Amino acid sequence: MKLETYLNKKVIITTIDGKKFSGIAFDYIPPQDNEQEIASISVGDYELYENEIKNIEILD
């Protein structure tokens, strides 16, 4: 999943445990710059890691 393609887009992210986060995606952090060595992206007040994300839907 290329999280950076969702930057500055309005999205709904669904995690593998069924939680949903909606808003503007921002603050992409590539794996090599992240302490856990997993890419992440932020929505609202939440940083979501690539391995926790099940689906990302772009809203109009």
Q: In what order do the strands lie in the sheet with 46-49?
A: 46-49, 40-43, 20-29, 10-15, 53-58
Whole-prediction pTM value?
A: 0.91
Both structure tokens of 22 = 């909606």
Q: What is the pLDDT of residue 14?
A: 98
Rounded to whole angstroms, how far apart are CA atoms 15 and 52? 5
The residues near 42 (Cβ < 8 Å, ≥ 6 apart) are 25, 26, 27, 48
pLDDT tens by residue, 3-41: 999 999 999 999 999 999 999 999 999 999 999 899 999
60: pLDDT strictly greater than 90: no
